[in-house]
């Protein structure tokens, strides 16, 4: 039998190959700088667990990986665009991402901004070209991804994050921020998989609930790693939350309390997964994300 790590690696190889083909190297056009900036950030590594969620939820909903791949790539492109923009001086002002200079440090602020814009729009181009899906499924996918990535989702979460710097906030605001900033795009990843697989409304709703719980656990682990992580492993500086005077689960509950909260949300997400067939891989993935070191 294929082990969890072997299957995760297989998924990663498939996704990286598809991303490589979707945004090839470009050196012959006048706009080559933006193509190369897009590719620089998109192919810089990362866990790829968002597109993995799309592919696996498609599979357990009765679909095939090939049909869901354009949707999985769309989610990863939007995630990559968000990282480029998050690192900009006007946002989090981070010079390193995944152990390499941030996109704006490598290509300049203007090209980094445009590379993020281009990845965002290319994401919807990918869904439009998902020929194995019906027109209705593609329309639903576009609408849902746009909603979860926009002001009512990921972008809205970033707005709350920026407006909260340097001031104390309570758990309620922090939970709302994490649900939007992290959970919303995970909802898109899981929900698009269900759509691609032809799952029913109940499966779609449960996938969204799972994604929110997983997003909370994931973001709390990020809070913990910003305090305890190894900079060489993380590929970015640690202690940036404290430097920016951000409220996190660690500042609210302490390190042990934050670990308890991460474990709680992980268990909540696992409970939801038991309502799906063939959920063993997703169970292992959920546990893996809790125990990660980067």
| Residue range 106-125, pLDDT digits in tens | 999 999 999 999 999 999 99
Q: Phi first, then psi: give them for residue 280, nearest 5 degrees.
A: -60, -45
For residues 15-47, b (16+ Cβ closer than 10 Å) or e, as one string? Answer: bbebbeebbeeeeeeeeebbbbbbbbbbebebe
Spatial contact of 119 and 42, defined as CB atoms under 8 Å apart: yes
Residues near 262 by Cβ (< 8 Å), separated by ≥ 6? 217, 220, 221, 224, 249, 290
Task: State the Cα–Cα distance between residues 77 and 39, nearest whole angstrom.
Answer: 10
Which range, of 129-133, 243-247, 263-267, averages the lowest pLDDT?
243-247
DSSP-assigned states of every residue in 160-222: HHHHHTTS---HHHHHHHHIIIIIHHHHHHHHHHHHHHT--HHHHHHHHHHHHHHHHHHHHHH
Are residues 157 and 180 in contact, defined by beta-carbon separation less than 8 angstroms?
A: yes
| Token pair 């990282």: residue | 83
Task: Supply 149's token pair.
Answer: 């990535």
Domains by residue range for the chain, with CATH: 4-290 (1.10.600.10)
Q: Are 63 and 194 in contact (CB under 8 A)?
A: no
**Region 217-245: what's the mean pLDDT?**
84
| Per-residue tokens: 92 | 């989090």
- Whether residue 225 has pLDDT greater than 80: yes
pTM, rounded to two decimals: 0.96
Tell me the mean pLDDT in the region 235-241: 75
pLDDT for position 1: 58
| Rounded mean pLDDT, 23-31 | 86
**pLDDT confidence of residue 61:** 97
More confidently predicted of 29 and 199: 199
Provide, rounded to the nearest whole percent, the portion of the chain with pLDDT above 70.
99
- Quick check: 191 and 262 in contact, CB under 8 A? no
Q: How many CB atoms lie within 10 A of CB 143?
A: 10
280-294 pLDDT, tens digit per residue, is 999 999 999 999 988
């Amino acid at each position: 039998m294929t082990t969890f790590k072997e299957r995760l690696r297989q998924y990663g190889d498939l996704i990286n190959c598809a991303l490589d083909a979707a945004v090839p190297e470009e050196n012959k056009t006048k706009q080559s700088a933006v193509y190369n900036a897009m590719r620089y950030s998109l192919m810089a590594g990362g866990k790829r667990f968002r597109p993995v969620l799309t592919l696996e939820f498609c599979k357990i909903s009765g679909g095939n990986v090939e049909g869901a791949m354009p949707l999985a790539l769309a989610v990863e492109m939007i995630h990559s665009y968000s990282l480029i923009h998050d690192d900009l001086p006007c946002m989090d002002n981070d010079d390193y991402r995944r152990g390499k200079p941030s996109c704006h440090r490598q290509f300049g602020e203007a090209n980094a901004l445009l590379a993020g814009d281009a990845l965002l729009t290319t994401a919807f181009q990918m869904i439009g070209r998902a020929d194995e899906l019906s027109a209705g499924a593609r329309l639903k996918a576009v609408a849902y991804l746009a909603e979860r990535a926009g002001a009512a989702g990921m972008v809205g979460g970033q707005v709350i994050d920026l407006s909260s710097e340097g001031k104390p906030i309570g758990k309620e605001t922090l939970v709302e921020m994490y649900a939007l900033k992290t959970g919303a795009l995970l909802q898109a990843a899981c929900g698009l998989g269900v759509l691609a697989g032809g799952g029913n409304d109940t499966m779609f709703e449960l996938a969204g609930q799972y994604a929110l719980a997983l997003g909370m656990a994931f973001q709390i682990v990020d809070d913990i790693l910003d305090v305890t992580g190894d900079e060489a492993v993380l590929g970015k500086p640690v202690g940036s939350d404290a430097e920016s005077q951000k409220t996190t689960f660690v500042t609210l509950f302490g390190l042990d309390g934050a670990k308890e909260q991460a474990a709680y949300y992980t268990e909540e997400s696992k409970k939801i997964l038991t309502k799906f067939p063939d959920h063993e891989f997703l169970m292992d993935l959920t546990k893996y994300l809790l125990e990660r070191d980067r």
